[in-house]
Amino acid sequence: MTLAPHPASTRRAPEVFVCAAAGFTTLLDSSVLNIGMPAMRSALDASGPQVQWILAAYSLAFGLALVPAGRLGDVYGRRRLLLAGIALFAVMGVCGATATGAWTVVFARFGQGLGAGLISAQVLGIISERFTGADRARALAAYSTAGGLAGLCGPLVGGAALALAPDGAGWRLLLLLNVPFAVLTLILAARHLPPDHRRNLTRPGVDTGGLVLLAAVTALLMLPVVADLSPLLVGAAVSGAVLFFAAFLWWEKGFAARAGNPVLLPALTRSPGYVLGTLVAMFWFGAILSLHTVVSLYLIEGLGYPALQAAVVLSAGSLAMAVASSLAWRVVGRFGRRAVAVAVLVELAVIGGYVAAAHGGAPVAVFVALAVVSGLTGGMVDAPNRVLTLESSPAGGHGVAAGFLQLSQRLSATVSLAAVSGLYLSALTADADDFAGAATAGLAVCAAMIAVSLTLAVVDGRRRRTGGIDSSGGGTR
């Protein structure tokens, strides 16, 4: 796989910076809220269900927005939707920070999730559409580097804000933390992103019915794992998701037959590179987020570290990921899918290291070292896999391809976090002092998901080496 630089790469550097800034803004939000939840709950006298919805609303709205936002960006243009998403994100941040009741925070977090979904789909769509070869790889590496920096800065800045702010004001500062970045990104995007083509405003074929049906499927799949539903309601939600998905497939087939432009582009489902890459990302992303959650719980509950100290330990991994992401485009340009497969294999060894460290009473330096290695592998998987996956998306469908890719990750994270944390807590219920055993139970699920991701990466690597051709018309992938 050869990645050749584009002569216009220097001229488009401000666009890359805007995309990275937008990614940093939304990912910074995701990394700070959890540590402020106890203070927020106390200040607002929030009930258990209200706290649950404050935490769930953002993810639910984010997942709902991704694919519709990507498709609308394909049709109507990305700049205006990105600007709208950033503005909505900033306004909802202010609404949440000034809230006097828990349900107002829920509403604000839902609005921020919609804004983040709009932003994220457009950012990846812009990179896939405007850049090719080495330029695309560098742009995606910059986006992943921004995510690593957000993961590094968020917990540290958030912990400091909680420690220094007056009583009851710390959580408000956390919700306001990303607003200045959003305003700055909005200004930069308005200045540096090229205008959308006017012809897109009248472009026909928006699949409204498909978007609505897919949104219903997404909501019904995510609700059981972000809300405390009874078994009967969980069954009803899952059954409803299956029925709506069947209706979605039926609608898409008919819409395409009527010469429309369906949400589920046939070229995407016929592209082995896109399908396999999306599955690699789905299992990897859910496993990594769950892994971080289990390790955090073990450091705080099992070893008795303060929350800020645990954040410092794991921030070493975020810094390593930022560094690795900035260099990953060179690796993927030389080694392609093999680099991703090797990095996933190393992450399996990291999980084994965490299990051994938990049972062996290892010093904190061991956990820091494992976090660094995990961060390095993350940098070598995240951006390279995006490059390899999105290169197989068809022309005119980059936004919806990015939307489906991220939606798969969001669903995987939501389900795996619920399952892994549930196993961890169940193990402690059986033996309240066996924190190492509880961590092992959760890490076993993470290892299984990483193993599936590795298998899929190897399959895709073999397909590429034998000259596999994607049906999207993209050639050998």
pLDDT in tens, 18-48: 988 998 888 887 667 766 777 787 788 877 6
**pLDDT level of residue 477 (50, 70, 90 thresholds):** very low
φ/ψ (deg, to 5) at 473:
90, 10
* Cα 22 off chain centre by: 13
CB 416 within 8 A of CB 449: yes
Query: Which one is predicted more confidently, 336 or 279?
Result: 279
Q: Which of 179-188, 222-231, 376-385 is least confident?
A: 222-231
Q: Report CA Rg, the chain.
A: 22
The predicted structure's pLDDT at residue 259: 64
The predicted structure's pLDDT at residue 200: 43
* Cα 257 off chain centre by: 33
How many whole angstroms separate alpha carbon 22 and alpha carbon 181? 8
Average pLDDT (357-362) is 88
CB 455 within 8 A of CB 340: no
The predicted structure's pLDDT at residue 271: 85
Per-residue pLDDT of 60-82, as tens digits, reads 788 778 888 887 887 778 888 99
How many whole angstroms separate alpha carbon 213 and alpha carbon 243? 10
Query: Which one is predicted more confidently, 3 or 89?
Result: 89
pLDDT at 56 over 80: no
Q: Which of 247-256, 355-364, 372-381 is least confident?
A: 247-256
The predicted structure's pLDDT at residue 4: 46
How many whole angstroms separate alpha carbon 391 and alpha carbon 1? 12
Per-residue pLDDT of 429-469, as tens digits, reads 888 888 889 899 999 999 999 999 999 999 988 888 876 54
Per-residue pLDDT of 267-322, as tens digits, reads 777 888 889 999 999 999 889 988 988 888 888 888 887 766 777 787 888 888 88
Average pLDDT, the chain: 81
pLDDT at 202 over 60: no
The residue among 441, 162, 147, 440 whose CA lies nearest residue 307 is: 162
Residue 229 tokens, joined: 């539903």
**pLDDT level of residue 470 (50, 70, 90 thresholds):** low
Per-residue pLDDT of 136-160, as tens digits, reads 778 887 887 887 788 777 777 777 7
Q: What percent of the chain has pLDDT over 70?
A: 88
The predicted structure's pLDDT at residue 471: 43
pTM for the model stands at 0.75
* Sequence-separated (6 or more) residues with CB below 8 Å from residue 88: 111, 112, 114, 115, 118
CB atoms within 10 A of CB 315: 21
Residue type, 453: S
**pLDDT level of residue 201 (50, 70, 90 thresholds):** very low
Helices 272-297 and 435-465, packing angle to 10 deg: 160
Helices 102-130 and 13-44, packing angle to 10 deg: 170
